[in-house]
């Protein structure tokens, strides 16, 4: 598979010569980390390391290899604006998306900068030198001027605490750690969960298993997804730079809004009507199933599922929807909330991730020796989801309250913000840049105030992975793409203070 040719975006990074040496640590080699690495090369910074805990690049698209795994956002918007590709489908499947990310790494010659199989466990700010001591899982410790984490939201699987799980005699694994050595053919399989992951797994494995139990704790709204193969003519058109830009612009207009998550808006009502019609047409002969899959809260109460094959699969003779949570695991099966026992051979836990627990796998220590987790106390917040007061030269890609627009778009805007601050360091000789706390606090106050309009805030009884333990929405961004892009372009200078070594 070859990358399409396009003149936009220089293959060779643009180099600058007027700056002193600047070392940057990037944590994570998923889409965000790769985007950041490309931005560093284009800026002319060559002394950077991308730490990746897995044995390959790709982040969530390296870890999640479950049957049916594919993106929800259509291409070319689920790709970088600076790197086209000859995609074969409207919605890219995991192997092809991983091939795309590898192609980006190849084109921008990033491999020498990537350290695989090495997790960052701790980063400690040194006020004397204005550097971070970065501790890695291999025992190494290096100093960097800047640290950028790109660990994402869906990197730490959430395992259930069911009593008896350790006594189950069959095969059991989390969907993000799929065991491909387990043959599902002719087996009795339980898939626990009905979120986006489960909605892709169920149609993919149903034809092969003897019996498939789908455990639904709480129904969610499901939108049909028009995924299909591109025609040869479409692939040829998408290889043309101007046509591809036009398609991205058209898609941006669709994704700009964010008002579909505000109860009662035109977009919200329309989205729910589409879901209701999908239920009505699929289950016209099964009103019992239609009732079970229909939520009792408005569209937007939790992340909507986009999958056209999930509902029809529930109509198969060998598939049974169990509208209850799993409470206990036995040696030979699982027990649901009604006390019913279901004998199974394989248990698939599609139970999601600890998405609201930002930086759960590492610790960052800022000024005055304060850990970022002690500062947050379970309620993660940052300015634009990117930078936190008290933690100079530290940035997060896809941090708190940045989920609300296509991920690749957000990554590019976030790396532009980081680059603007790096340029400030290089051109003015400053060694520490830190967001002002009043600016960060005001930003988060306004964000949370605006998010109160969303269905998530109005229906706290709905299970939603975006809430912190206090109930605060730490995931969502509800202002659309244009506002976020404008803020990342206009606020780097006015939001932060800059210092040199020795200055207070």
Taking all residues of the chain, what is their mean pLDDT, rounded to a whole number? Answer: 93
What torsion do the CA atoms of 229, 232, 236, 242 make, to the nearest 10 degrees?
-40
Tens-digit pLDDT profile for residues 308-350:
999 999 999 999 999 999 999 999 999 999 999 999 999 999 9
Position 99 confidence tier, pLDDT thresholds 50, 70, 90: very high
pLDDT band at 503; cut points 50, 70, 90: confident
Indicate the pTM of the whole model: 0.94
DSSP structural state of residue 107: H
Q: What pLDDT sits at residue 254?
A: 81
What integer is the mean pLDDT of 84-102?
Answer: 97
pLDDT of residue 20: 52
State what percent of residues in the chain have pLDDT above 90.
88
What is the per-residue pLDDT across 398-441, written as a single tens digit (0 to 9) for each? 999 999 889 999 999 999 999 999 999 999 999 999 999 999 99
For the ranges 17-26, 176-185, 195-204, 205-214, which has the lowest average pLDDT? Answer: 17-26
C-alpha 211/C-alpha 317 separation (Å) is: 9
Q: What is the pLDDT of residues 110-132, one digit of tens each?
A: 999 999 999 999 999 999 999 99
Average pLDDT over residues 150-158: 91
Residue 14 has pLDDT above 80, yes or no: no
The predicted model gives 139-150 an average pLDDT of: 98
pLDDT (tens digit per residue) in 451-500: 999 999 999 999 998 999 989 999 999 998 999 999 999 999 889 999 99
Burial per residue of 160-198, b for 16 or more beta-carbon CB atoms within 10 angstroms, e otherwise: eebeebeebebbbbbbbebeeeeebeebbbbbbbbbbbb
Q: What is the residue whose two structure tokens read 């025609």? A: 231
Quote the CA–CA distance of 342 and 483 in Å, as a whole number. Answer: 50
* Contact of 399 with 382, CB cutoff 8 Å: yes
Token code pair at residue 352: 């999601």
Quote the Cα angle for 415-91-158, to 5°.
70
Q: What is the pLDDT of residue 36?
A: 98
d(CA 303, CA 254): 17
Query: Please, what's the largest Cα pairwise distance for the chain?
Result: 75
Question: Which pLDDT belongs to residue 5?
Answer: 30
Position 196 scores a pLDDT of 97
Confidence of residue 305 (pLDDT cuts 50, 70, 90): very high
Q: Are the C-beta atoms of 388 and 474 separated by less than 8 Å?
A: no
| Interval 40-75: pLDDT, tens | 999 999 999 999 999 999 999 999 999 999 999 999
Cα–Cα nearest to 3, from 229, 244, 228:
244
pLDDT at 257: 67
126-145 b/e (C-beta count within 10 Å ≥ 16 → b): eeeebbbebbbeeeeeeebb
């Amino acid at each position: 598979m070859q990358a399409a040719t396009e003149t936009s975006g220089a293959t060779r990074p643009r180099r600058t010569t007027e700056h002193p040496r600047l070392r940057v640590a990037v944590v994570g080699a998923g889409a965000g980390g790769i985007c950041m690495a490309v931005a560093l090369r284009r800026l002319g910074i060559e002394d950077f390391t991308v730490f990746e805990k897995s044995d390959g690049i790709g982040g969530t698209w390296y870890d999640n290899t479950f049957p049916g795994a594919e993106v929800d956002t259509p291409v070319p918007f689920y790709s970088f604006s600076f790197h086209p590709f000859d995609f074969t489908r409207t919605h890219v499947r995991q192997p092809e998306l991983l091939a795309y990310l590898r192609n980006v790494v190849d084109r921008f010659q990033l491999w020498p900068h990537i350290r695989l199989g090495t997790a960052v466990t701790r980063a400690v700010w040194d006020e004397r030198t204005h550097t971070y001591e970065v501790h890695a899982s291999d025992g190494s410790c290096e100093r960097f001027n800047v640290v950028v984490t790109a660990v994402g939201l869906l990197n730490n699987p959430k395992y259930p605490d069911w009593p008896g799980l350790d006594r189950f005699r069959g095969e059991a694994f989390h969907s993000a750690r799929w065991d491909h050595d387990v043959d599902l053919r002719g087996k009795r399989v339980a898939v626990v969960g009905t979120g986006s992951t489960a909605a892709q797994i169920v149609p993919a494995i149903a034809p092969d298993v003897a019996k498939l139990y789908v455990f639904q704790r709480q129904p969610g709204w499901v939108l049909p997804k028009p995924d299909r193969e591109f025609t040869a003519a479409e692939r040829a058109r998408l290889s043309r730079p101007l046509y591809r830009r036009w398609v991205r612009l058209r898609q941006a207009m669709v994704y700009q809004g964010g008002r579909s998550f505000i109860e009662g808006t035109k977009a919200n009502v329309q989205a729910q009507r589409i879901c209701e019609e999908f239920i009505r047409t699929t289950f016209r002969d099964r009103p019992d199933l239609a009732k079970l899959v229909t939520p009792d809260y408005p569209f937007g109460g939790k992340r909507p599922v986009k999958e056209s094959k999930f509902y029809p699969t529930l109509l198969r003779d060998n598939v049974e929807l169990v509208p209850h949570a799993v409470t206990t695991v036995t040696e030979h099966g699982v027990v649901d909330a009604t006390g019913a026992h279901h004998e199974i051979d394989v248990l698939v836990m599609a139970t999601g991730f600890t998405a609201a627990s930002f930086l759960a796998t590492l610790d960052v220590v800022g000024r005055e020796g304060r850990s970022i987790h002690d500062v947050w106390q379970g309620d993660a917040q940052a300015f634009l989801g990117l930078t936190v007061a008290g933690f100079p030269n530290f940035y997060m890609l896809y941090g708190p309250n940045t989920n609300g627009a296509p991920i690749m778009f957000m990554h590019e805007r976030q790396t532009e913000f980081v680059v603007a601050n790096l340029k400030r360091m290089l051109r003015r000789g400053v060694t520490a840049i830190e967001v002002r706390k009043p600016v960060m606090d005001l930003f988060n106050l306004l964000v949370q105030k605006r998010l109160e309009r969303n269905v998530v805030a109005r229906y706290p009884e709905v299970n939603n992975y975006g809430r912190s333990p206090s109930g605060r929405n730490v995931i969502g961004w509800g202002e659309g793409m244009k506002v976020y892009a404008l803020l990342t372009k206009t606020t780097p200078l006015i939001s932060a203070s800059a210092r040199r070594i020795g200055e207070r």
